[in-house]
Amino acid sequence: MRLGARLIRALATCVVACLCQTVAAAAQSGDLQAQDLQARCQSRDPRLVDRAIEACSQIIAASDGQGTAQLSARVARARGYVGRAEWRRAVLDLDQVLERDSTSRLAAEAYSLRAIARYQLTDFAGAIADSDAALKLDRHNVQALKVRSFAHAGRGTASSAARAGSLPDALLVYVAHGPAGACGEGCEEWLAVEGTVDWEGPRRVIAALDRLGARKLPVVLNLPRARHVASAMTIGKILRERGFDVTVGETRVNGCDDPRDAGCVALKQAGKPVQAALVPMRTCNILCVLGIAGGTRRTVPETTRVVIGGMWMGNRLELRADAPFREGRHERDRNLIKIYLTQMGVDPQVADMMDENYDSSHATELSREDAVRLRIITQ
């Protein structure tokens, strides 16, 4: 009997342990599923918008009340509706969010998204009001500045944000000075070209090069985005015609914790060299490649990854363009990029890689050897 009792107790212990492990595994699996659902909901990839909306809807349905998780999911779902041009659905979600929260960073995004939807619904007054509300919470909200500008144009009224050059991410071109060897052997000054490339970008580059006169400072590009791809190629052509060496990197101006701060921007626009440090960028994307292609000598830091993704085809609000416009623009840009790369001495196969990744979330990362073989890098 004693032996039997011990066996029963041992068996019971094993059963309890197995149940505990099963429950723990189920809980862990549930946590992973919840994390995956959250990641899908918050995805900003416009090509995955349907999946994002579905995931956000599941989170909203499962949420109890109007907690932070549900508010965040509603903003993300509204972002998806904006991407699908379902303006009224977006407004419904955002109205509910802003009834609960009108003062946080999440509210700033909600106001900005609702401004886009109201603009598209030709409610220009509402779009301006929402843009102003977003800018009170986040004065660097580029999307709100754009929508406010377009909404004022729609109403026929003046706007302080009407010019592209007034946007906080507008292209800036300035001379930076660092310690000896900051930009290479025997180099301590460089010309920084940073920001979003728009149609005014080439003009700013020409003006800066004219101010340099006969000086041939290395040009350091930091071009995360472009509103006008042709302008990025025009900048490359200008640099080639003037015979400048080009590399990529992030120029960090001393004392500028926020590079978009008005004081920091004013310092860069003052026309005098600024004290700065030059640090490698994590990634050189297709816009970066188009820019450095214009260099007589082209270099990329060892730690910077060269990644060729597909080009994003958006409208003037940087929303996903309609299919006919998107396809026509894609074909035109592909041909222009191939011609440009060939003229610059870069293998046009780069354009083929870009084409393969068009309208997908895929990207092709190049090894150092591939970047040299394709003549993206000259050494």
The reply to whether 98 and 230 lie within a common domain is no
Task: Name the stretches of the chain with pLDDT < 50.
Answer: 1, 23, 25-27, 29-30, 160-165, 325
The reply to whether 363 and 302 lie within a common domain is yes
Pick from 81, 140, 77: which is nearest to 108 by CA?
140
Domain boundary among 157, 190, 205: 157
The reply to whether 152 and 176 lie within a common domain is no
pLDDT value of residue 323: 55
Pick from 140, 150, 161, 89: which is nearest to 119 by CA?
150
Burial of 79 (0-12, 13-18, 19+ CB in 10 A): buried
pLDDT value of residue 130: 94
C-alpha–C-alpha distance, residues 21 and 367, integer Å:
44
The reply to whether 342 and 208 lie within a common domain is yes
The reply to whether 124 and 206 lie within a common domain is no
pLDDT value of residue 165: 47
Residue 166 counted as domain residue: no
The reply to whether 150 and 94 lie within a common domain is yes
Question: What is the distance in angstroms between the CA of the first residue and the CA of the last residue of the chain?
Answer: 84
Residue 36 counted as domain residue: no
Helix 2-41 / helix 49-62 crossing angle, nearest 10 deg: 130
> pTM to 2 decimals?
0.64
The reply to whether 181 and 150 lie within a common domain is no
The reply to whether 144 and 178 lie within a common domain is no
pLDDT value of residue 363: 81
Helix 105-120 / helix 142-155 crossing angle, nearest 10 deg: 30
- 166 DSSP assignment: G
Residue 243 counted as domain residue: yes
Assign 198 to helix, strand or coil. Answer: coil
Number of domains in the chain: 3
The reply to whether 199 and 335 lie within a common domain is yes
Residue 191 counted as domain residue: yes
Residue 1 counted as domain residue: yes
Residue 10 is part of which domain span?
Answer: 1-31
pLDDT value of residue 227: 65
pLDDT value of residue 327: 59
Largest CA distance in the chain: 102
The reply to whether 356 and 214 lie within a common domain is yes
Sign for the CA dihedral angle at 150, 152, 155, 156 comes to negative
- Write down the residue that tokens 């010019």 correspond to: 163
The reply to whether 82 and 226 lie within a common domain is no
Residue 41 counted as domain residue: no
Residue 37 counted as domain residue: no
C-alpha–C-alpha distance, residues 160 and 222, integer Å:
27
Residue 320 counted as domain residue: yes
pLDDT value of residue 13: 67
- DSSP secondary structure letters along 306-368: EEEEPPP-B-TTSSBPPHHHHHHHHHHHHHHHHHHHHHHT--THHHHHHHHTTTSS-EEEEPH
CATH number (domain holding residue 149): 1.25.40.10
> CB–CB of 256/267 below 8 Å?
yes
Strands of 58-195, DSSP E: 172-177, 189-194
CATH number (domain holding residue 202): 3.90.226.10
Sign for the CA dihedral angle at 210, 212, 215, 217 comes to negative
Report the length, in residues, of the chain: 379
Q: What phi, psi does 279 have (nearest 5°)?
A: -125, 150
Q: How many CB atoms lie within 10 A of CB 184?
A: 13
> CB–CB of 227/199 below 8 Å?
yes
The reply to whether 277 and 369 lie within a common domain is yes
